């Protein structure tokens, strides 16, 4: 059974979701019961000013866990 994504895991979309193609990589920034909020790293959209050329919230999408594959688990936090 595949590992469910958790906070700060690096994940990949297994299918197109909310305009982002399958294979897009991001990080889980919030966990919900049936889905995760994923922040997509989109440096390619940085404008000439060095700031994103689109709304920052466009990089946040809610994705069901079934559409995510964990690429790299978050490092364990030292306590």
Helix ranges (H only) for 1-79 are: none
**CA 38, 34, 66 angle in degrees (round to 5)?**
70
Of the candidates 79, 58, 65, 77, the residue with the CA atom closest to the CA atom of residue 6: 65
CATH architecture of 10-72: Roll (2.30)
Q: Is the pTM of this model over 0.75?
A: yes
Domain boundaries, the chain: 10-72
Query: For the chain, give me the number of helices (H) and strands (E)?
Result: 0, 5
17-62 residue pLDDT tens: 998 999 999 999 999 999 999 999 766 566 677 766 666 567 899 9
């Amino acid at each position: 059974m595949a590992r469910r994504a958790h906070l700060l895991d690096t994940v990949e979309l297994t299918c197109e979701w909310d305009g982002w193609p399958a294979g897009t990589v991001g990080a889980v920034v919030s966990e919900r019961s049936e889905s995760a909020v994923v922040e997509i790293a989109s440096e390619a959209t940085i404008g000439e000013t060095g700031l994103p050329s689109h709304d920052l919230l466009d990089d946040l999408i809610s994705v069901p866990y079934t559409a995510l594959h964990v690429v790299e688990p978050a490092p364990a936090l030292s306590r």
